[in-house]
Chains A and B, each alone.
Chain A
Amino acid sequence: MDRILIQFLNGLTYGGLLFIIASGFTLLFGVMRVVNMAHGMFYILGAYVGLSVQKATGNWLVAIIVGSITVGIIAFVIEKILPFAKSDLSQALLTLGVSVTIRDLCLIIWGGLPQIIKEPSFTKIPIKIFSSNYPGYRLFVLIIAVFIGILMWILLKRTQYGRVLRAGIDNRSMVSALGINIDRTYTTVFVLAGFLTGLSGSIGGTYISFGPGTDFSILTYALVVVIMGGLGSIPGAALGAIIVGLIDSFGRTYIPQITNFLMMGSLIIVLLFRPRGILGRKES
């Protein structure tokens, strides 16, 4: 019974990380209809920069912040060159090209061995849950995820800015026609998504080792989460993240060899009943 609960917590906390990763992706797609193939690259860039900053300063918090800001800046640059791509497909391809290039640059700078960022001392407290000591850091990640989720909810539902974004998800041309500066809004969303993903990279990179192949696996899980949960929906991303986290956790514990199969199967089952994802909505 204990073991099941631990696995449940593992799944939940992993889901927390996945939510932060996926929310950036779903924001970009929902608001701007951009499929950011460089999403995984944002993650590992945040992780790698965080790693170097931590090695240089010894301070975890500084590392996280610098990592996130760096990715935000890269996102800004990418947003500026994005207009060169005229269609959905070419945008995805352009971001893919950037991703592949920067990924190889990371290989040159940081090498090919798996790396991990050192945990900050304030989370090194094991929390007693039933009879075992649960790593404090994982719960910390979950708390941050919930915090970010609440922040995003407030942003989207309670601010004028959020209303503009939500309107943009439903009907872009109308929003533009109403005279709102869509361009600046879009740039901000891009930077925000980049910052979030870089943050997830630094945070995730502290307890999950990362390396050159991580960007594709992160992209994969982000895609699965948002497809399951519903593109463009933040609650959907949360729901999808929890489901994927739990499947991953229980799957890898009890049937490690075919966890991917289980994941594929779950995706298929969800899509059979809800082709747009559980909380997905049809755009107008």
Chain B
Amino acid sequence: MIKRTPKVLATIFLIIIAFTIPLWLGEYWTQTMITGFTISITAMSFILLTGYCGIVSFAQMSYYAMAGYVFALTAKDFNFPTYISIPLAIIGAVILSAIFGAIAIRSGGIYFMMMTIALSQLFSGLMLDWQSVTHGYNGFSGVARPSIFGFSLIDTNPRYYLTLVILIISYLILKRIVNSPFGLSLRGLEGNIIRMNTLGFDTDFRRFFAIIISGFFAGVGGLLGIFSTGSVTPATGDLSANVMVLMAALIGGIYHLEGGIIGGIIVIFLMNITKQYTNRYWIVIGIIFILIMIFLPNGILGINYSKFKSVFNKKK
């Protein structure tokens, strides 16, 4: 309990800071933070699969985009009320993840990864080609921000707090799942599928269920995303977007949910700042990517802090 206190204090401190951000960060950067949070949620869904199940999914942003498209379609084109559009959007994301998941559970790790790449690109292409429904290249834009429980989401600040709160709740739920008996059995899937099967665990079902959960949270991220930007395009869920989520998870650390939170914020801010100096931000990202793969494979959370501790001890 005493050892945990610094961590708990630090977390509370961070949460307090997070709640005060709109006060000292201008509107533009607060908006950036909101986008960062949506990517954080999606990155956590990615980490659930990668870090805890050993499944690499390049389709998380497809679920994100699906939620955005369903919301935009039902709210803007079909004029459904908000309290129907929102659940429909999440359901859309979950259904897509169920489809991708059903195909993929029959295959092992790397096949799954390749399939998610192909499927997400095909899905993005579908959003592009199916112009009569999805408005093609331009997608949906100017989707009105809804009012939730009477609170209008048109201004940045209410949206910021909503996204922050949902981020925290998502993290808590995912943390509970990961530490539950179900979650622990998922970790067994990573290396010991045969052993797990022998022990009587239905590995296919558990993986499928994990994929659906990840689809749910990616959908939540996507819903908050479309509230935040008001637009969704075929590019929202394509391979580049999925690479971005991957980057977020890698930077933060793929073995911990917290890495998703850190990574998401860092990636969005990084892209934003780089864009202001050069149009060639993909080169910067690509190089950072390569450097991380070589030097920091476990991300920021994976840095071996004990090395630093020993330095301090020596000085005594």
Do A and B pair up? The answer is yes
Give the interface size bracket for B toward A.
35 or more
Contact residues of B: prevailing secondary structure:
helix
Chain B window 111-122, contacts with chain A (Cβ cutoff 8 Å), 1 for yes, 0 for no: 101110111011
Out of A88, A90, A100, name the residue touching B243 (CB < 8 Å): A100
A101-B126 in contact (CB<8A): no
Bound state CA distance, A108 and B117, in angstroms?
Answer: 26
B129-A259 in contact (CB<8A): yes
**Please, which residues of chain A bring their CB within 8 A of the CB of B290?**
94, 97-98, 101
Out of B99, B130, B297, name the residue touching A90 (CB < 8 Å): B297
**Please, which residues of chain A bring their CB within 8 A of the CB of B289?**
93, 96-97, 100-101
Chain A window 217-251, contacts with chain B (Cβ cutoff 8 Å), 1 for yes, 0 for no: 10110011001000100000000000000000000
Out of B119, B132, B282, name the residue touching A257 (CB < 8 Å): B132
For residue A260, CB closer than 8 A to chain B, the reply is: yes
Interface residues of A (CB under 8 A from B): 33, 35, 84-86, 88-90, 92-94, 96-105, 107-108, 216-217, 219-220, 223-224, 227, 231, 256-261, 263-264, 267-268, 271-272, 275-276
Taking CB as reference atom, which chain B residue is nearest A94? B293
**Please, which residues of chain A bring their CB within 8 A of the CB of B268?**
none
Q: How far is the CB of A120 from chain B (nearest CB, A)?
A: 31
**Please, which residues of chain A bring their CB within 8 A of the CB of B122?**
220, 224, 260, 263-264, 267
Taking CB as reference atom, which chain A residue is nearest B286? A101
**Please, which residues of chain B bring their CB within 8 A of the CB of A256?**
129
30 A/B residue pairs, CB under 8 Å, sorted by A: A88-B109, A88-B110, A89-B113, A90-B293, A93-B246, A94-B293, A100-B289, A101-B283, A101-B289, A103-B286, A105-B283, A216-B121, A216-B238, A219-B121, A219-B239, A220-B118, A220-B122, A224-B122, A256-B129, A257-B130, A259-B129, A260-B125, A261-B130, A263-B122, A264-B126, A267-B103, A267-B119, A268-B99, A271-B115, A275-B107
A260-B110 in contact (CB<8A): no
B residues 271-292 in Cβ contact with A at 8 Å: 280, 282-283, 285-287, 289-290
For residue B140, CB closer than 8 A to chain A, the reply is: no
Top 3 A-B pairs, shortest CB-CB distance: A101-B286, A97-B289, A100-B286
Q: Which of B117, B123, B131 has the most CB of A within 10 A?
A: B117
Bound state CA distance, A104 and B122, in angstroms?
Answer: 22
B286-A223 in contact (CB<8A): no
- Contact A231-B132, Cβ < 8 Å, known A90-B297, A216-B238: no
- Contacts A89-B56, A97-B289, A100-B243 given; 8 further ones with Cβ under 8 A? A90-B293, A92-B113, A94-B290, A100-B289, A216-B238, A260-B126, A267-B118, A267-B119
- Contact A258-B130, Cβ < 8 Å, known A92-B113, A227-B114: yes
- Contact A35-B110, Cβ < 8 Å, known A104-B282, A257-B132, A260-B126: yes
Chain B window 123-143, contacts with chain A (Cβ cutoff 8 Å), 1 for yes, 0 for no: 101100111100000000000
A101-B287 in contact (CB<8A): yes
Interface residues of B (CB under 8 A from A): 50, 56, 99, 103, 106-107, 109-111, 113-115, 117-119, 121-123, 125-126, 129-132, 238-240, 243, 246, 250, 280, 282-283, 285-287, 289-290, 293-294, 297
**Please, which residues of chain B bring their CB within 8 A of the CB of A88?**
109-110
Bound state CA distance, A86 and B126, in angstroms?
Answer: 35
Out of A85, A108, A224, name the residue touching B293 (CB < 8 Å): A85
Bound state CA distance, A36 and B149, in angstroms?
Answer: 49
Bound state CA distance, A108 and B279, in angstroms?
Answer: 10
**Please, which residues of chain B bring their CB within 8 A of the CB of A276?**
107, 111
Q: How far is the CB of B6 from chain A (nearest CB, A)?
A: 32
A231-B111 in contact (CB<8A): yes
Q: How far is the CB of A279 from chain B (nearest CB, A)?
A: 15
Bound state CA distance, A81 and B119, in angstroms?
Answer: 29
A227-B118 in contact (CB<8A): yes
A257-B286 in contact (CB<8A): no
B239-A216 in contact (CB<8A): yes
Q: How far is the CB of B134 from chain A (nearest CB, A)?
A: 9
B118-A224 in contact (CB<8A): yes
Q: How far is the CB of B57 from chain A (nearest CB, A)?
A: 11
Bound state CA distance, A76 and B108, in angstroms?
Answer: 29
B115-A227 in contact (CB<8A): yes
A97-B293 in contact (CB<8A): yes
**Please, which residues of chain A bring their CB within 8 A of the CB of B280?**
104, 107-108
A35-B283 in contact (CB<8A): no
